[in-house]
């Protein structure tokens, strides 16, 4: 038996304060010496940085389509074996997406905590809370937390509007110190702020004044779930597929969109991972293959353009016929040039012919899948730039099951000796098809 209190922290929409509430709850219990495991619902690279800092542990994604129901079951089961509390931050609104956070909660019987930005409402707060709880039959519901509340008197008005008073879990007062800053792709990363932990502690202190924050572990047992081992299949990793292969992984402020579970997947297949910084290092570490993940090359274009030794080292890797997998931001840096949102243009690494231009509006968003050698990888796309290149796509991504694409899917480009430089805006979830993930890093 793997039984553990579990809460899915959701909201009526994005921007209500889900991440702040999840971080506050994780930090509050971690400070008390409890073992907290946090997950993020849906594809997201940025919220997990904050959730990991708050909880002190790795944060993995849960998505009934992208990661798959079996993968979700295994991760929750394994977490329940070691944790005192499991928290899952939802995505967008509670019922948004196919599948939604509500679908995940119902599949595993996880109670939903609704966070509602109550800054500009009174009695309507109760209507929203009632609707979230009862919109779908048999949705496990923990209660509601009011966010950005103006005063104690305002909190009383909100509480009085609830049809079920027992659902009131407290109010977080309006306080800019609790706000996590954002930019075009989401939250600013924790390590970019000198006061990241202070912000989390302030949020935890504020939550400690609420009913939710004052609940003991014994009281939290009311939301326990038995993540039974019978529901958990064996992982589908291809044993030893990457044994003896050293993969250099770009990881710094410019290349930071990395699923922790993707690293685990590569290592489970025998790969040795070595990390480097395209911003600060002069050369690649000794390696057999290169992974350039997504991130913010547009925010660091000048530094990337100025690091000529690294550009030369990457060119040497390509000329030696070694594999490269570049996704989104990693692909952007491989083109000849990049034009930022401010109109300035910088030379990039020149591995792929063409130019990338940042746009003011989102260029693509949503779950997609990509068929490559070895199988079909599931993942997603989310970018503000577009690229112009004479390269012809080898293939394109397809829509997730039950969805349709607006326009063409994301291109997969192949270049270099034997076409071993493979690049796309597509972000892959490696565990969705380990054999296909392995082939991205092999000379085949």
CATH for 29: 3.40.50.300
Task: Identify the pLDDT of residue 180.
Answer: 61
Q: In what order do the strands lie in the sheet with 345-347?
A: 345-347, 335-339, 352-358, 385-388
Query: Is residue 121 domain-shared with residue 179, that is, in the same domain?
Result: yes
| Selection from 427, 438, 264 nearest residue 332 by Cα | 427
Residue-wise pLDDT for 178-215, tens only, equals 666 654 444 455 455 567 888 899 999 999 999 999 99
In a domain, 148, yes or no: yes
Looking at 208, 231, 254, which one is the last position of a domain? Answer: 231
Query: Is residue 168 domain-shared with residue 36, that is, in the same domain?
Result: yes
In a domain, 236, yes or no: no
Query: Is residue 225 domain-shared with residue 253, that is, in the same domain?
Result: no
Query: Is residue 279 domain-shared with residue 159, that is, in the same domain?
Result: no
Task: Identify the pLDDT of residue 186.
Answer: 47
In a domain, 272, yes or no: yes
Query: Is residue 114 domain-shared with residue 256, that is, in the same domain?
Result: no
Query: Is residue 218 domain-shared with residue 319, that is, in the same domain?
Result: no
Instruction: State the Cα–Cα distance between residues 254 and 428, nearest whole angstrom.
Output: 18
Residue 399: domain span? 246-439
Domain of residue 376, CATH code: 3.40.50.880
Instruction: State the Cα–Cα distance between residues 308 and 330, nearest whole angstrom.
Output: 17
**Structural contact between residues 247 and 288, judged by C-beta atoms closer than 8 angstroms:** yes
Burial-class residue 276 by CB neighbours within 10 Å (0-12, 13-18, 19+). Answer: buried
Count of domains forming the chain: 2
In a domain, 132, yes or no: yes
- From the candidates 41, 328, 387, 433, which is the catalytic residue? 328
In a domain, 158, yes or no: yes
Burial-class residue 428 by CB neighbours within 10 Å (0-12, 13-18, 19+). Answer: buried
**Structural contact between residues 114 and 94, judged by C-beta atoms closer than 8 angstroms:** yes
Neighbours of 423 (CB within 10 A): 28
Looking at 231, 261, 287, which one is the last position of a domain? Answer: 231
Residue 96 has which token pair? 């948004």
Instruction: State the Cα–Cα distance between residues 79 and 37, nearest whole angstrom.
Output: 6
Rg value, the chain, Cα: 23
Instruction: State the Cα–Cα distance between residues 38 and 254, nearest whole angstrom.
Output: 25
Query: Is residue 180 domain-shared with residue 267, that is, in the same domain?
Result: no
Which helix (DSSP H) or strand (DSSP E) does residue 240 occupy? none
Query: Is residue 367 domain-shared with residue 221, that is, in the same domain?
Result: no
Give the residues of the chain that fall short of pLDDT 50. Answer: 183-187, 190
In a domain, 444, yes or no: no
Residue 47 has which token pair? 């919220």
Instruction: State the Cα–Cα distance between residues 175 and 177, nearest whole angstrom.
Output: 5
Task: Identify the pLDDT of residue 232.
Answer: 57
CA atoms within 13 A on the CB side of 252: 16
Looking at 171, 205, 231, which one is the last position of a domain? Answer: 231
Query: Is residue 186 domain-shared with residue 261, that is, in the same domain?
Result: no
Q: Which residues lie across from 338 on neighbouring strands?
A: 346, 356
In a domain, 239, yes or no: no
In a domain, 241, yes or no: no
Transcribe 188-223 into DSSP letters: PPGGG-TTHHHHHHHHHHHHTTSTTTT--HHHHGGG
Query: Is residue 100 domain-shared with residue 155, that is, in the same domain?
Result: yes
Is 328 one of the annotated active-site residues of the chain?
Answer: yes
120 contacts: CB under 8 Å, gap ≥ 6 = none
Instruction: State the Cα–Cα distance between residues 158 and 146, nearest whole angstrom.
Output: 8
Query: Is residue 69 domain-shared with residue 182, that is, in the same domain?
Result: yes
**Is the pTM of the predicted complex or chain greater than 0.85?**
yes
Query: Is residue 212 domain-shared with residue 292, that is, in the same domain?
Result: no
């Amino acid at each position: 038996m793997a039984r553990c209190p579990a809460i899915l922290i959701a909201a009526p929409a994005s921007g209500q304060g889900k991440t702040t509430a999840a971080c506050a709850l994780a930090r509050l219990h971690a400070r008390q010496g409890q073992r907290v495991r946090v997950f993020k619902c849906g594809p997201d690279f940025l919220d997990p940085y904050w959730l990991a800092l708050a909880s002190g542990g790795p944060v993995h994604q849960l998505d009934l389509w992208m990661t798959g129901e079996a993968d979700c079951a295994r991760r929750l089961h394994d977490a329940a074996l070691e944790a005192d509390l499991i928290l899952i931050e939802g995505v967008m609104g509670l019922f948004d997406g196919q599948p939604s956070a509500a679908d995940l909660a119902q599949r595993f019987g996880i109670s939903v905590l609704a966070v509602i930005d109550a800054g500009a409402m009174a009695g309507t707060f109760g209507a929203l809370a009632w609707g979230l709880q009862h919109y779908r039959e048999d949705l496990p519901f923990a209660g509601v937390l009011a966010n950005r509340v103006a005063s104690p008197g305002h909190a009383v008005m909100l509480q009085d509007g609830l049809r079920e008073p027992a659902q009131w879990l407290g109010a977080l007062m309006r306080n800019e110190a609790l706000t996590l800053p954002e930019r075009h792709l989401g939250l600013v990363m924790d390590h970019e702020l000198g006061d990241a932990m202070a912000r989390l502690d302030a949020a935890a202190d504020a939550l400690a004044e609420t009913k939710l924050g004052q609940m003991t572990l014994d009281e939290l047992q009311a939301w326990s779930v038995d993540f039974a081992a019978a529901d958990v299949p064996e992982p589908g990793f291809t044993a030893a597929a990457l044994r003896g292969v050293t993969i250099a992984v770009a990881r710094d402020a410019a290349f930071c969109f990395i699923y922790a579970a993707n690293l685990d997947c590569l290592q489970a297949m025998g790969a040795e991972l070595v990390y480097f910084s395209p911003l600060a290092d002069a050369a690649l570490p000794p390696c057999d293959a290169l992974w350039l993940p997504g991130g913010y090359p547009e925010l660091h274009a000048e530094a990337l353009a100025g690091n000529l030794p690294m550009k030369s080292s990457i060119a040497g890797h390509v000329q030696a016929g070694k594999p490269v997998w570049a996704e989104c931001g990693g692909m952007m840096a491989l083109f000849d040039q990049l034009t930022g949102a401010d109109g300035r243009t910088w030379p990039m690494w020149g591995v792929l012919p063409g130019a990338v231009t940042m746009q003011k509006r989102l260029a693509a968003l949503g779950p997609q899948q990509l068929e490559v050698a070895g199988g079909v990888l599931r993942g997603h796309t989310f970018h503000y730039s577009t690229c112009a290149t004479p390269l012809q796509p080898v293939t394109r991504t397809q829509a997730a099951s039950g969805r349709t694409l607006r326009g063409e899917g994301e291109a997969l480009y192949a270049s270099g000796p034997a076409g071993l430089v493979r690049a796309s805006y597509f972000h892959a979830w490696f565990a969705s098809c380990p054999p296909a993930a392995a082939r991205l890093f092999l000379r085949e």
